[in-house]
Amino acid sequence: MLQTALNIDVRKTSKSRISELDMKNLQFGKSFSDHMFVATYEDGEWKKAEILPYGKMEISPSTSAFHYGQAIFEGMKAYRTDSGEINLFRPEANWKRLNISAERMAMPIISEELFMEGLAQLVNLDRNWVPSDKGTALYIRPFMISTDEFIGVKPSDTYKFIIITSPVGAYYNTPVRVLVETNFIRAVEGGIGYVKAAGNYGRSLFPTRLAQQRGYDQIIWTDARNHRFIEESGTMNAMFMIDDILITPPIGDTILAGITRDSVLTLARDWGYRVQERKISIDEVLDAHRKKTLQEAFGTGTAATIAHIAGIGFEGKDYELPPVEERIFSNRVAQELEAIKKGKSEDKHNWVFHVK
Ligand SMILES: *Cc1c(COP(=O)(O)O)cnc(C)c1O
């Protein structure tokens, strides 16, 4: 056992599995690196922090997370630069957001040191798992679950905070067709739409499957009151370029504050674009489409960075958007973010964290 500054016990695997991995054919979320980080909360504090060989864990059927869904997560990536260094992108933003989720779900806060040290040491130990081809990355999944073996309804007294990592291949940015959903909803005011809780995903699977059966890739969620205002695109934030103005719904309690969203808005402002964070209705988007002022529509998120929207389905009609090659802003911002993450473009906003 190695002891580190934060008392992270490190137990290394006796045999790396990396030779079994086909780095040229990576499937999203299927293979996991050699190690995992596990911290244990009990008696009112984070007690044990360990890096262990990735593997199965023994969990009781009465574990409270299974029953009442105290389960939250984050998603981020580690990138390999041309010189072989490993970069994280805005990891402290993930740490802050995890704590916002924790508070809403009555779960314990995680210190910046515990999050950052666990993350940096794990990624450093498994650095061979960070792929280097264009567009590839090591996907990082920090998450927290309640672990009381008790099926009474109350916040758990014990938790685990775990980080696992998974090498992911180049994301083929095939433009998506989206269906504007006017029946099911993702989030309501006063609810948990603004946090990365497992339940937000569970509830979206059935409506998304119905949309996919109708030939769409994703749903455009609308507001719970009137089904008129756009909320998010699948599990991404939604943005529209109309008449050279970048418009995106404002962060509130129904919209997840995406780190990609914030980064895209920051770059747009840097470049002198007009940016509006305000409510935008589907009528406004389709009206712009009719007037030919709708230049771009896209989703933003860690997985794809930018997902171009090729077409929008609404009330039985399909609206085609301009070809992706003509979309100046979304192509430029996708390229610039990739360049910053890979250390090829100046990191003006101090977004890059080097793993040493
Ligand atoms: C994670 C997530 C996003 C994107 O957030 P990023 O920090 O940009 O990855 C957007 N919407 C929802 C609902 C999400 O869960």
Domain edges within the chain: 2-168, 176-341
Cβ neighbours of residue 304 under 8 Å, at least 6 residues apart?
171, 173, 236
- Best substitution site from 237, 265, 298, 333 to test ligand 1's pocket, by max atoms within 8 Å of Cβ? 237
Q: Is 238 in the pocket of ligand 1 (CB under 6 A)?
A: no
What pLDDT, on a 0 to 100 scale, did the predictor assign at position 242?
98
> CATH 3.20.10.10: does it fit domain 176-341?
yes
How many angstroms separate the CA atoms of 15 and 55, rounded?
13
Question: Residue 313 pairs with which residues in a beta bridge?
Answer: 179, 318
How many angstroms separate the CA atoms of 306 and 300, rounded?
5
How many angstroms separate the CA atoms of 133 and 64, rounded?
41
Helical segments of the chain, H only = 64-68, 91-104, 112-125, 198-213, 259-270, 282-291, 328-341
Residue 3 CA to ligand 1 center (angstroms) comes to 35
Residue numbers in the chain where pLDDT is lower than 50: 1-3
Question: Residue 277 pairs with which residues in a beta bridge?
Answer: 248
Q: Is 184 left (phi over 0), alpha (psi -120 to 50) or beta?
A: beta
Q: Which atom of ligand 1 is nearest to the CA of 263?
A: 8
Q: Is 108 in the pocket of ligand 1 (CB under 6 A)?
A: no
Judge whether 99 and 194 are in contact, CB under 8 Å.
Answer: no
How many angstroms separate the CA atoms of 134 and 136, rounded?
6
- SS3 call for 129: helix
Q: What are phi and psi of 184, to 5 degrees?
A: -75, 155
Residue 349 CA to ligand 1 center (angstroms) comes to 20
What pLDDT, on a 0 to 100 scale, did the predictor assign at position 332?
98
How many angstroms separate the CA atoms of 6 and 16, rounded?
25
Q: Is 77 in the pocket of ligand 1 (CB under 6 A)?
A: no
What pLDDT, on a 0 to 100 scale, did the predictor assign at position 5?
57
How many angstroms separate the CA atoms of 196 and 350, rounded?
24
Helical segments of 173-281, H only = 198-213, 259-270
Structure tokens at 351: 């977004």
Structure tokens at 197: 């809780």
How many angstroms separate the CA atoms of 238 and 217, rounded?
15
Structure tokens at 280: 């935008």
How many angstroms separate the CA atoms of 294 and 298, rounded?
11
- Best substitution site from 235, 253, 254, 341 to test ligand 1's pocket, by max atoms within 8 Å of Cβ? 235
Q: Is 236 in the pocket of ligand 1 (CB under 6 A)?
A: yes
Tell me if domain 2-168 and domain 176-341 are identical in fold.
Answer: no
User: How many CB atoms sit inside 10 A of residue 21's CB?
Assistant: 17
Strand duo 294-301 + 274-277: pairing:
unpaired
Judge whether 126 and 33 are in contact, CB under 8 Å.
Answer: yes
How confident is the model over 105-136, as pLDDT tens digits? 999 999 999 999 999 999 999 999 999 998 89
Judge whether 193 and 200 are in contact, CB under 8 Å.
Answer: yes
What pLDDT, on a 0 to 100 scale, did the predictor assign at position 185?
96
Residue of the CA atom closest to atom 12 of ligand 1:
235
How many angstroms separate the CA atoms of 73 and 256, rounded?
13
pTM: 0.96
Q: Which atom of ligand 1 is nearest to the CA of 97?
A: 7
User: How many CB atoms sit inside 10 A of residue 131's CB?
Assistant: 21
> CATH 3.20.20.210: does it fit domain 2-168?
no
**What amino acid is encoded at 73 in this protein?**
F
Q: Is 255 in the pocket of ligand 1 (CB under 6 A)?
A: no
What pLDDT, on a 0 to 100 scale, did the predictor assign at position 25?
87
What pLDDT, on a 0 to 100 scale, did the predictor assign at position 2?
46
Helical segments of 271-316, H only = 282-291
Residue 233 CA to ligand 1 center (angstroms) comes to 10
Judge whether 87 and 343 are in contact, CB under 8 Å.
Answer: yes
